[in-house]
Structure formats: C-alpha cells, structure tokens
Amino acid sequence: MSIVTRQGDEGLTSLMYGVRVPKDHPRVEAYGAVDELNAALGWARAQGAPPWLQDALLHVQRDLIVLMGELATDPAHRARFEADGFSALGPGHVGWLEEEVRLAEGCLPPARGWALPGADPVSAALEFSRTVCRRAERRVCALRGATGAVSGTVLVYLNRLSDLLWLWARCVERGITPRPAASGNGAQ
C-alpha cells in the first residue's frame, strides 16, 4: 500500500472521522504545529540528551500524540473520539509538567536576563523546541479564537511545556540532572 493517496492534491485534508477541511484550516495549523514540536523534541533526543532527559522527552512526545488526536477531531465528533477510547489532555498531564518545572527550578539559580541558545547541541535543540512550542501555542490560540472549541487544558499544557523546555536547556548547559532517572515515565 502506498503512502500516496492523492486525496490532498486539491488542498484539502481529513480530520479524524473523515471531516474534510482546507490544509490551512486553523485546526490543521494547530495540530500541524504540535506535530512540528514533536519532531523538534525527537531531534533534541537525537542530539545525545542525557538519560533523564531522554525519558522526559519521550514522555512529552507521547503526550503530544494525545494532543494531536484531540486537535485533529472536529468538535462534532468528540463523543465518538471518546467512545473509541481516545483520551484528551487532562490535569494529570499538566501536573506532571508542573512537577518537572518545580524540580528543574530547584536545581537552578534564579534566572537573570536572556539565554543565548547554542551552548551545546542538546540545549540548542531544546531552545528550538521551545520556540516551536510557542508557535504551537499561538496556533492553538488562533483555533480557539476561530472556533471556541479548544480545551483550556491544551493552552495551559503548551504554556507549561515551553517554560519547562527553557529550564531543561539551562539544566543541560550546566550539566544538572533535575530528577533521578528512576523516577519512571510519569504515566498518568
């Protein structure tokens, strides 16, 4: 079976459950930006991130897959999405990020001034991921403005994640491990 379907040749794409929309629809822009963020985090892992960060980034990438499914579903199909066993981001996802922020902040001196990305490949990749995360946050805000159909948890999640990526970059630059590798995958 080929990946080439030709169904997008006219500038349309399908959301979950077959709803066809233009490729520049705010919903597609939102989940596309989250997809870019997921790829950027994979790139950060591939740069030789330390084991604690490898585990944490994988955890976030799995959360982003959940988020992409949520964003790729038209609100009219939300009940079907849930009935099919798909989940959405919830307070536990945000709570995990907030705990990671707390741990990282506890290891770092107070922030002063701006960070200059590029101290090493991993921290630079984290900084790049942070900027992609901020873009995803803006696209989700635009989707909410256009449709009103976005969970507030999504925006909180992306906002916390961008803060955490900044903190993790600072930890990597300083060779700090903010949490033990044995802390698990943080499954919800």
Q: Which of 41-55, 73-87, 88-102 has the lowest mean pLDDT?
A: 73-87
Indicate whether 53 pLDDT > 60: yes
Domains and CATH numbers, the chain: 14-183 (1.20.1200.10)
Q: Which residue has the higher pLDDT, 39 or 76?
A: 39
For the cut 80, the answer to whether the pLDDT of residue 142 exceeds it is: yes
pLDDT of res. 7: 63
pLDDT in tens, 67-81: 999 999 988 888 888
CA angle at residue 110 from 108 to 111, to 5 degrees? 100
pLDDT for residue 111: 78
- Which of helix, strand or coil describes residue 75? helix
Q: What is the 3-state secondary structure (H, E, C) of 98-132?
A: HHHHHHHHHHCCCCCCCCCCCCCHHHHHHHHHHHH
The pTM of this model reads 0.88
Say how far apart CA 12 and CA 167 lie, in whole Å: 38
Report the distance separating Cα 79 and Cα 61, nearest Å: 25
d(CA 169, CA 188): 25
Mean pLDDT, range 59-72, rounded to an integer? 96
pLDDT interval class at 188 (50, 70, 90): very low
Distances (CA, A) of 94 to 43, 73, 133: 23, 21, 15
